[in-house]
Amino acid sequence: MKRIYLLASALTLVFASCQKSSEESVEDSMLASQETLEIAKEQCGTMGVLDEKIAENPDLVAKMAAVEEHTQKALSNGWTKRLAADGKIEIPIVFHVLYKDASENIPLSQLQDQVAALNEDFSMNNPGRNTIPSEFTQVEANIGVRFVLEDVIRVKTKKRQWRPDDSMKFTSSDGSDVVNPQEFLNIWVVSNMPYRGGNILGYAQFPGGSWATDGVVMDHRFTGTTQYSTGRTATHEVGHWLNLRHIWGDGGCGATDFVADTPDSDAASRGCPTYPTVNCGTADMTMNFMDYSDDPCLNMFTEGQKSRMLSVFANGGFRATMAD
């Protein structure tokens, strides 16, 4: 069981930006022609993005502290249990597809595939869940959240590359403005996102940030079903958007993800690990959506993660208006 720290640890991760490094740089010509993209395993640019965001807006620290304080209060008072008893929460998604070339203007079917993958993962219908070890099936959770496709906004831009600086979220910087973020999950689908020598596949804004930038950003090649993806990158990023941390707590043994039923671990998983993979004296939950295993090997959320996510919809929570 992880140690649960309150506000001080809550401030260690404000924005999630999950990054996979390239073995070779990806040239514009490769992007345009959709040739084979060589992707090494995922690494997280979280702390760099965190530093940038806090430098831009120091008030974000206090806002994140308030969100975490409400989360702990909701959990201790059982507010999430009452919320879950009311039925499923439906979250409409607005996709912003930003493209320079036709290959980046992904079809509606690909976006529909992404919504279907999210619904599988958040309703305990993931196709690989029959491989979950019995040790973990007892805490596997149906989150009770359903996603629907609300709208698709397509914007032809002049940019082929985007930094994770939220510029894609504003028409003034050749992007697309957020749409009603207190009611809709906004997902920006963009082209290549180089960052720190790698290629970011997606990043999310945690509860507590500005409504003007609230949502998830995805590389178009890792949105829905593609040669690179089965849609689990979005599941991971939406988990962050709903206030989940990486399962290993972004630290060594003893670091916390604020969830009691996810085993302690010392680092992210790679590939498709064989069970049991033991670190910190327990078997790693390598199949958890908030780890870094390959898409086909990510299959579950836990009851603790469910409670943490539902707390943002509880009365007074950052996303409470979505549960009305």
Catalytic residues: 237
Nearest to 159 by CA among 193, 185, 134: 193
User: How many CB atoms neighbour CB 75 within 10 A?
Assistant: 20
Report the alpha-carbon distance of residue 270 to residue 129 in Å, rounded.
Answer: 18
Report the alpha-carbon distance of residue 305 to residue 163 in Å, rounded.
Answer: 29
Report the alpha-carbon distance of residue 195 to residue 164 in Å, rounded.
Answer: 8
Q: How far is the CA of 19 from the CAs of 85, 204, 281, in angstroms?
A: 36, 12, 28
Q: Which two tokens stand for residue 4?
A: 């649960």
Report the alpha-carbon distance of residue 237 to residue 234 in Å, rounded.
Answer: 5
Assess contact for 193 and 217: CB atoms under 8 A: yes
Helix (H) or strand (E) holding 83: helix 79-85
Q: b vs e for 180-215, b when ≥16 Cβ sit within 10 Å of the residue's Cβ?
A: ebeebbbbbbbbbbbbeebbbbbbbbbbbbbeebbb
Tell the residue number behind the tokens 């671990």, with chain if given.
265
Residue type, 250: D
Nearest to 216 by CA among 199, 227, 202: 202
Assess contact for 305 and 245: CB atoms under 8 A: no
